[in-house]
Amino acid sequence: MDDLNAETVTQAALQQMAATPDPRLRQVMASLVRHLHDFAREVTLTPEEWLTAIRFLTEVGHCCSPVRQEFILLSDVLGLSALVNAQHVADAAPGGTEASLLGPFFRADAPLLEAGAQIARDPGAPELLLHGRVTDTAGQPIAGARIDVWQTSATGLYDLQVADAAMDLRGAFQTDAEGRFHFRTVQPLGYQIPMDGPVGRLARAQGRHGYRPAHIHFLIGAPGYQELVTALYFAEDPHIDSDMVFGVARALVVSPVARDPAAPIQGMASLRYDFALAPAAGHGSQRVGADPASLQPA
């Protein structure tokens, strides 16, 4: 046998994995090993740095709980979640509304509410009406689509981030026969990603502000259509051009209007947005991220 060195070890590792029966696992792992080895050679990774990285990843794992997913956060701040989302959606949902990140604060068990309901238990700020339609890519209404919404409060916290984590600032709605929906909420506040863990420490070491611009998350599904995971971002937010997790797209930037005579509830600012769902194409879920509780080890 030949002695391995910093160059030949790559080929040796690839050879040992070459008989992997699952072709996709074989392809993904071979590429991962090639890039990891190239990376270590490019930066001349030292044993101390490698150990620092192992400690960091261990800490990221320990930081995960039923209500916090530090690995998703790490993927988000590296731009990997946005990249996976972008390349998946480009071919999975042509003509549909642009997708955005699911993020770590989705809860699968949000209550189904009546049209027009207020999703904040205690609004504590001026109400904001959201309304619009869900259609197919030809503009035909989709009746009975389920719309899950979730957002931060006017002080920038999700319900999962307050002491009792009781369900708040989220809910599910169903479109009517014309594909219409409407609900009341409050203007969300932009927020810093959780900065008290290893990912936040890394962000500070990189001199990054850590903020996401104010937004409202949407997950919209109907039988026969590709599930849409997206968010609407508020144009006036100071971090609209420097989202910490790269989720903003121009088509998803919105501004409420003070008065809209066509809005289904009057007397408050409102925001109209129409969503288009692409036909189901068998591409599986486009959820980048998940209910944190669903990622807990058994």
Q: Inter-axis angle of helices 47-62 and 198-205, to 10 degrees? A: 130
CB of 44: closest distance to Fe ion in angstroms?
A: 38
Buried/exposed 68-96: b ≥16 CB within 10 Å, e otherwise: bbbbbbbbbbeeebbeebbebbeebbeeb
Residue type for position 157: L
Question: Is position 103 an interface residue for Fe ion (rule: CB under 5 A)?
Answer: yes
Q: In this chain, which stretch among 15-23, 82-90, 95-103, 281-289 interacts with Fe ion, using CB under 5 A?
A: 95-103
Comparison of 173 and 233: residue with beta carbon closer to Fe ion? 233
Quick check: 213 and 243 in contact, CB under 8 A?
A: yes
247 binds Fe ion (CB under 5 A): no
How many CB atoms lie under 10 A from the CB of residue 156?
15
Q: How far is CA 41 from CA 3, 6, 9, 80, in A?
A: 18, 8, 12, 22
Helix (H) or strand (E) holding 62: helix 47-62
Query: In the complex, what is the shortest distance from the CB of residue 82 to Fe ion, in angstroms, rounded to a whole number?
Result: 13
Instruction: Rank residues 253 and 280 by Cβ distance to Fe ion and give the closer one.
Output: 253
Q: Answer positive or negative: Cα dihedral of 232, 237, 243, 249.
A: positive
Stretch that binds Fe ion, among 97-105, 107-115, 194-202, 283-291 (CB under 5 A): 97-105
Shortest Å distance, C-beta 10 to Fe ion: 39
Closer to Fe ion by CB, 150 or 183: give it: 150
Residue 232 or 276: the one with the smaller Cβ distance to Fe ion is 232
For the bound state, the minimum distance from the C-beta of residue 105 to Fe ion, rounded and expressed in Å, comes to 6
171 near Fe ion, rule: CB under 5 A: no
State in Å, rounded, how far the first CA of the chain is from the last one: 43
Distance of CA 195 to the CA centre of its chain: 17
> Beta strand 253-254 with 127-136: parallel, antiparallel or unpaired?
unpaired
Give the whole-angstrom CA distance, residue 170 versus residue 194. Answer: 20
Alpha-carbon distance of 119 to 69, in angstroms, equals 24
Only segment of 50-58, 70-78, 96-104, 122-130 that touches Fe ion (CB under 5 A): 96-104
Q: Which residue is nearest to Fe ion (CB)?
A: 103
Residue whose CB is less far from Fe ion, 214 or 263? 214
- Strands across the sheet containing 253-254: 170-174, 146-151, 215-221, 228-234, 253-254
Counting contacts by CB under 5 A, is residue 198 touching Fe ion? no
Given the rule CB under 5 A, which of 8-16, 98-106, 159-167, 232-240 is the region that contacts Fe ion? 98-106
Binding-site size, Fe ion (CB under 5 A):
1
Compute the least distance from the CB of residue 151 to Fe ion, in Å: 7
Query: Which of 16/242 has CB closer to Fe ion?
Result: 242
Select 179 or 200, whichever has its Cβ closest to Fe ion. Answer: 200
* Cβ closest to Fe ion, residue 135 vs residue 185: 185
Tokens coding 230 = 């997206």
The reply to whether 292 sits near Fe ion by the rule CB under 5 A is no
Q: Minimum distance from CB of 296 to Fe ion (Å)?
A: 20
- Binding stretches for Fe ion (CB under 5 A): 103
